[in-house]
């Protein structure tokens, strides 16, 4: 690789990093997200909030929305979305999220020092009513099941896993890539599969 090309590539990277550092926190705060200290952004997340809801990100978290900044790449930006008033998303200190979708109708809490792999989906709602009659157009909150999600400290969720409503994942546990988490996972274990089951203790 030629020296001029290397210099140009480093320059472009430097400009991007500084542009994100200067502009993304401002846009996040303007969208209603509370940043509790310095949060690092690679690219611009997609954020949408219903009035009365909350999204909070603690210091030293890293949100990666562009493929060039993470080993596996991402198929989409980080998405943080609330669907109902009083819904809450909390992302703890020193977490890393890459192309992660976090969608809350009730509550999603992610503890500190968690690693959320590329394109993980975390949602606390069924989005639609389950009874077949009029399902497509039934948007009544009481007809759509929701349940809070709690991901405790130092959890590692592998790429393209899905975490569904009502789930708790205990501290230090690892969820294997591509898993479907539909029931609670205790602390200090490795779990994987569809549905995710405990494989062994850590």
Selection from 55, 62, 181 nearest residue 122 by Cα:
181
Q: Which of 76, 84, 128, 160 is catalytic?
A: 128
What's the token pair of residue 106? 């009730």
Instruction: Tell me whether residue 128 is one of the annotated catalytic residues.
Output: yes
Phi-psi region of 178 (alpha: psi -120 to 50; beta: other; left: phi over 0): left
Can you tell me which residue has the tokens 């501290």? 171
DSSP assigned state of 37: S
Distance in angstroms (rounded) separating the CA atoms of residues 115 and 103: 17
Work out the widest C-alpha separation in the chain, in whole angstroms.
65
Parallel, antiparallel, or unpaired: how do β-strands 180-181 and 149-151 relate? unpaired
Inter-CA distances, 20 with 29, 63, 107, Å: 14, 11, 28
Closest CA to 58 of 16, 120, 114: 114
Count the helix, strand and coil residues of the chain and give each as a percent rounded to the nearest 5. 20, 35, 50
Q: Which residues are catalytic?
A: 128
């Amino acid at each position: 690789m030629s020296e001029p090309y290397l210099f140009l590539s480093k320059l472009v990277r430097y400009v991007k990093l500084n542009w994100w550092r200067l502009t993304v926190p401002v846009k996040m705060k303007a969208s209603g997200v509370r940043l509790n200290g310095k949060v690092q952004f690679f690219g611009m997340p997609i954020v949408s909030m219903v009035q009365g809801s909350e999204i909070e990100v603690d210091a030293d978290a890293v949100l990666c929305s562009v493929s060039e900044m993470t080993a596996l790449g991402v198929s989409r930006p980080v998405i943080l979305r609330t669907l109902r008033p009083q819904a809450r998303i909390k992302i703890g200190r020193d977490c890393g999220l890459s192309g992660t979708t976090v969608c809350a109708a009730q509550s999603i809490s992610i503890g500190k020092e968690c690693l959320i792999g590329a394109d993980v989906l975390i949602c606390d709602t069924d989005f639609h009513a389950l009874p077949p009659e009029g399902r497509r157009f039934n948007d009544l909150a009481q007809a759509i099941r929701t349940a809070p999600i709690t991901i405790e400290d130092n959890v590692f969720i592998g790429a393209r896993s899905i975490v569904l409503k009502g789930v708790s994942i205990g501290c230090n546990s690892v969820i294997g890539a591509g898993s479907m988490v539909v029931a609670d996972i205790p602390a200090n274990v490795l779990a994987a599969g569809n549905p995710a089951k405990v494989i062994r203790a850590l």
